[in-house]
Amino acid sequence: MNAIKLTLFAMTATVSLSACGSESPEPTEQIVIREPGEAATPVEGAAADADGADAADLVAAGKSAFAACVACHSVTPDGASSIGPNLYGVVGRAAGSLAGFDYSDAMAGSGLTWNSGELDEFLTNPSAKVPGTRMVAGAVNDADDRAAIIAYLATLSE
Amino acid sequence: MSDPVSEKPERSRAAKWTRRGFIGAGAIAGGALVVGVAVRSGNPVGKLKGIVAQGEGEALVNAWVKIGSDNLVTAIVPHCEMGQGANSTIAQMLADEMDVNWENVRVMDAPADGNYVSQHAVRTFVGPGTLPDRPNQVSFMEPTYDGLFTQIGKLAGAYITGGSSSVRSTGQNGMRIAGAAAREMLVASAAKEWGVPAAEITTQNATVIHAASGRSEPYSAFAAAAAEQDLPRAPRIKTVDEYKLMGTPAPRKDIPSKVDGTAIFGVDAGPEGENLRYAAVKASPVVGGAIASMDASAAKEMRGVLQILNMGDFVAVVADSYWQAQRALNTIKITYTESENDSADTATMFAGFTKALDEAGDSGGNSKADYGDAVGALADAVTKVEAEYKVPFLAHATMEPMNCTAWVRDGKCDIWTGTQVPLMARDGAAEGAGVSADDVTMHSVLLGGGFGRRLTPEYTNQAARLAKATGYPIKMIWSREEDTAQDFYRPADISRFTGGLDENGKVICWNNVHCTEDEPPEAPLVEFYDIANVSVRNAEVEWPVRLGAWRSVAHSQHGFFVESFVDELAAAAGKDPVEFRRELLKNSPRHLAVLNGAAEMAGWGSPLPEGHGRGIALARSFNSIVAEVAEVDMTGETPKVTKVYCCVDAGFAMNPDGLKAQMESGIIYGLTAAMYDEITIKDGAVEQSNFHDYKMMRMDDAPDIAVQIINGAPDNLGGAGEPGLPPAAPAVTNAIFAATGQRIRELPISKHFA
């Protein structure tokens, strides 16, 4: 058995030695699945699933992830805007164009049209994409979640 | 910092000044040059100035005080805030000496830079004081002062928060002198500017005043000029009757941020504007085990997973969110290498303790105290009393589990973490990142509980290794299960006593042998009790787990052992427990006053309802004396502690509200362990994992607590963070005895009422 003497400093010294039990602090095995920000590649074998089933799953996942957004955004046709604009039909719409919503100057003048790519960048870091936007909360860190939310938003149109 | 050796003229000139105190430049502590005095061009404090005084028009008067152009005074404190409030209190001490009103005071944590090493913390922990004119230099550590201790203290980097030392050490010997020196330098600057004698200048509310000419200016007007002044050789420190802020319940500076949620703890912190990735980790549950293999086939396909790493001594999953990482980690099948501790269990370990105690007998083992003739005197005893007590391993169970955020890039490493030892945490990260300590920037943030758990650097090391391996910023968070399994545990112990009483029921001898090393060494000693023949020893044993400092350290065990046995002696003598202790304390007036204070608060001797009982216990730790009376209700299935009356003499309560809060906190932490908890080992691993089997005391179980303060020695301060704890457990078990006649000799108490 290890005889570990109890002394405040002796104890901590023991730690600093044992913290790197291996010869080198480098990993002995490192499995890299993807880099941060990269969308997840479809899992091998899953491709056999029907595309339609995958898409439906993605939309369902997006609807679920969108729960974090509903405090500010309504998504029903003709739903009232609240803190943020109504997002029904947002995909394909020009940024800052919903009538009656008080956009920041930055958003109104952004010149963006919301497609999947622009939405993905905006949701990654709203203030970086549109500096001056009033959407100060709501960044979605998870790339999969962003993809799902965008897929869900794309279904919300006539 | 630049090469300190080349700054010799500065050092030697300033060094004369250390005669009076803390701000002495040139003192070596923790292997680094401690500067801490005036800032002037060419002075090595330049780097510090760059770190802490970045605002326009700010000047560092000395390394512990900063005066802004807005006349706000910032105290730069070298301790970590883990809820204890000491940083606010030591700022209060500085402000009082400096004549600054509390509203104008801000508190800032010292950066983890060697210059801020608290040399008084070094003295407190590492060796005897070298300031004979300061009676509050802690001397209890002197017996442990040896080469090893000093060496490790230096390696560790003695910027440390522990040992209940902030107020009595850094505050008393550092901040007060810094404040007084700063004030004198400001006065000297004003005298020069105005062409008047310094003696005619007074100060109040951060303002220098010359009444005769009707002139007054805020401190900020002279901040830059003061930095050019010669250092006062012996700044005058206030006497107790001159205190304005000291001794008052000035509101803690950290409260607003904790109420409005802006306070940043380790688990909240990280690089601004960066998307953090999260790591969950798992190490071998057995000490000495490493990773033999991992099967991550399921984890590889789980959402959010970025990387899976076998780090040799632990496995990690890096993912977009913490929960994704943890869930993926939970699916990995890990096998571990063999360890010599694979078959360790608590029962075998305790059997080893018993064997070691048997071998030590009545005079073997390492002597901790030996006066009179404890063995010989027993032969003269009319009544002999023997008892054996046992306490378990304990975990710290901090509210915030261990965590660290790290980012390694371009040969540099940044870490964000809550730690009691920033310099050691920094070194752990440096080792993990493969960079020098100078290339680590340590962002020290609030601790969600410390209690001694955050005195180790292994978690900063892990985070830095992961950040290096991945190349991007990583927030590593231990699960509660990992936190419980990988703690540095409060040592279990068995302690045996033999005592003898004469025909009058007076204690004539006290013989104790136990197993733990004693840290601090006075923990098992009873010199304040009037007993002529005493032998205290420990027997060396082996440990299958990591051991650590747990709030009040060895006092946490010995408070229970000693005060239980005193109670048993009182019962054998047929005497009231308070009266019995009064006789033993006849030569210890401060202890006696505290004992009497607690007894009076509790109405000792007054009737209690049927099935209720009162118990008292007294302990001296970290230079403070605390007595507690617990009341228990034994009419239910399990004991219920209804009230705790606490009387404390910490020398002088610099902030009475803070001292009370620390007593309450120590009592709750102590009762939590005493009532419910133990860490047990089976097949080498800790059996407990989370709050369902390692319970915390909740509101509905918490007693009403009353605290009374005695300022018994204003020049001899004691600590606050730990001393409330040691009497809590024995006060309760003594109360159970009073109520039912049942003597609890093994903790936790819940074991006896299952």
**pLDDT for position A41:** 61
Which of B477, B499, B518 marks a domain boundary? Answer: B477
Mean pLDDT of chain A: 77
Q: Is residue A127 in a domain? A: yes
Q: Is residue B450 in a domain? A: yes
**pLDDT for position B104:** 92
**pLDDT for position A1:** 35
- pTM (predicted TM-score): 0.78
From chain A, the residues in CB contact with B288 under 8 A are 2
| Residue-wise pLDDT tens digits, B523-540 | 999 999 999 999 999 999
**pLDDT for position B190:** 93
Asked if A68 reaches chain B (Cβ–Cβ under 8 Å), the answer is no
Spatial distance between the Cα atoms of A36 and A26, rounded to a whole number of angstroms: 20
In chain B, which residue's Cα lies nearest the Cα of A20? B313
Q: Please give the DSSP secondary-structure letter assigned to residue B635.
A: S
Across the range A87-100, mean pLDDT stands at 91
| Residue-wise pLDDT tens digits, B241-295 | 999 999 999 999 888 988 998 888 999 999 988 889 999 999 999 999 999 999 9
Q: Is residue A115 in a domain? A: yes
**pLDDT for position B228:** 66
Q: ipTM more than 0.90?
A: no
**pLDDT for position B725:** 98
| Residue-wise pLDDT tens digits, B538-581 | 999 998 899 999 999 999 999 999 999 999 999 999 999 999 99
**pLDDT for position B39:** 24
**pLDDT for position B169:** 64
In total, how many domains does chain B have?
3
What pLDDT band is residue B31 in, cutting at 50, 70 and 90?
Answer: very low
Check whether A47 has a pLDDT greater than 90. no
Sign of CA dihedral A113, A118, A124, A129: negative
Q: Which of B198, B204, B170, B171 is nearest to B185 (CA)?
A: B198
Q: Is the CB of A12 less than 8 angstroms away from the CB of B309?
A: no
Q: Is the CB of B308 less than 8 angstroms away from the CB of A12?
A: no
Check whether B502 has a pLDDT greater than 80. yes
Domain match, B29 and B153 both = yes
Domain match, B437 and B564 both = no
Residue B549 or residue B597, greater confidence: B597
Residues B295, B298, B300: CA angle, nearest 5 degrees: 90
Across the range B356-371, mean pLDDT stands at 97
| Residue-wise pLDDT tens digits, B78-95 | 667 777 888 889 889 989
Q: Is the CB of B320 less than 8 angstroms away from the CB of A143?
A: yes
CA-based R_g, chain B, Å: 27
Q: Is residue A140 in a domain? A: yes
Q: Is residue B389 in a domain? A: yes
**pLDDT for position A10:** 30
Q: Is the CB of B543 less than 8 angstroms away from the CB of A4?
A: yes
Q: Is residue B703 in a domain? A: yes
CA distance B230 to chain A (A): 38
Whether B121 contacts B90, CB under 8 Å? no
What pLDDT band is residue B651 in, cutting at 50, 70 and 90?
Answer: very high
Across the range B732-748, mean pLDDT stands at 98
In total, how many domains does chain A have?
1
**A vs B: CB pairs below 8 A:** 166
User: Which of B313, B333, B468 is the best substitution to test chain A (most A C-beta atoms within 10 A)?
Assistant: B313
**pLDDT for position B144:** 25
**pLDDT for position B160:** 53
Q: Is residue B483 in a domain? A: no
Whether residue B520 is preceded by a cis peptide bond, meaning omega within 30 degrees of 0, is: yes
Whether B264 contacts B286, CB under 8 Å? no
Residue B172 or residue B405, greater confidence: B405
What pLDDT band is residue B170 in, cutting at 50, 70 and 90?
Answer: low
Lowest mean pLDDT among B73-77, B170-174, B660-664: B170-174
Check whether B461 has a pLDDT greater than 70. yes
From chain A, the residues in CB contact with B428 under 8 A are 16, 19
CATH at residue B43: 3.30.365.10
| Residue-wise pLDDT tens digits, B213-253 | 999 999 888 877 776 676 666 778 899 999 999 999 999 98
Which of B231, B256, B281 marks a domain boundary? Answer: B256
- Domain of residue A110, residue span: 50-154
Question: Given its phi and psi angles, is residue B270 left (phi above 0), alpha (psi -120 to 50 degrees) or beta?
Answer: left
From chain B, the residues in CB contact with A65 under 8 A are none
Q: Is the CB of A6 less than 8 angstroms away from the CB of B424?
A: no
Domain match, B180 and B196 both = yes
Across the range B169-196, mean pLDDT stands at 83
Domain match, B230 and B367 both = no
C-alpha distances out from residue B482 to B276, B288, B329, B687, B721, Å: 21, 16, 12, 12, 26
Across the range B167-185, mean pLDDT stands at 77
**pLDDT for position B36:** 34
Asked if A22 reaches chain B (Cβ–Cβ under 8 Å), the answer is yes
What pLDDT band is residue B73 in, cutting at 50, 70 and 90?
Answer: confident
CATH at residue A75: 1.10.760.10
Across the range A18-26, mean pLDDT stands at 46
Residue B163 or residue B616, greater confidence: B616
Across the range B501-521, mean pLDDT stands at 95
**pLDDT for position B441:** 85
**Closest CB from B273, B306, B465 relative to A36:** B306
Q: Which of B353, B328, B717 is nearest to B542 (CA)?
A: B353
Spatial distance between the Cα atoms of B211 and B370, rounded to a whole number of angstroms: 62
**pLDDT for position B610:** 96
Domain match, B369 and B246 both = no
| Residue-wise pLDDT tens digits, B122-162 | 343 333 333 333 333 332 222 222 222 222 233 333 345 66
Domain match, B592 and B662 both = yes
Across the range A40-47, mean pLDDT stands at 51
What pLDDT band is residue B13 in, cutting at 50, 70 and 90?
Answer: very low
Check whether B332 has a pLDDT greater than 80. yes
User: Which of A8, A24, A58, A127 is the best substitution to test chain B (most B C-beta atoms within 10 A)?
Assistant: A8
Q: Is residue B151 in a domain? A: yes
B535: β partners: B370, B511
Across the range B167-188, mean pLDDT stands at 78
Q: Is residue B737 in a domain? A: yes
| Residue-wise pLDDT tens digits, A4-15 | 333 333 333 333
**pLDDT for position B161:** 62
Q: Is the CB of A25 less than 8 angstroms away from the CB of B431?
A: yes
Spatial distance between the Cα atoms of B474 and B269, rounded to a whole number of angstroms: 11
Lowest mean pLDDT among A143-147, B219-223, B328-332, B672-676: B219-223
Spatial distance between the Cα atoms of B380 and B363, rounded to a whole number of angstroms: 17
Check whether B113 has a pLDDT greater than 70. no
Q: Is residue B152 in a domain? A: yes
Check whether A22 has a pLDDT greater than 50. no
The most confident of the ranges A122-136, B212-226, B262-276, B404-418 is B404-418
**Closest CB from B156, B491, B546 relative to A9:** B156
- Domain of residue B290, residue span: 266-339+402-477
Check whether A101 has a pLDDT greater than 80. yes
Asked if A26 reaches chain B (Cβ–Cβ under 8 Å), the answer is yes
Mean pLDDT of chain B: 84
Asked if A8 reaches chain B (Cβ–Cβ under 8 Å), the answer is yes
Which of B211, B234, B256 marks a domain boundary? Answer: B256
Q: Is residue A92 in a domain? A: yes
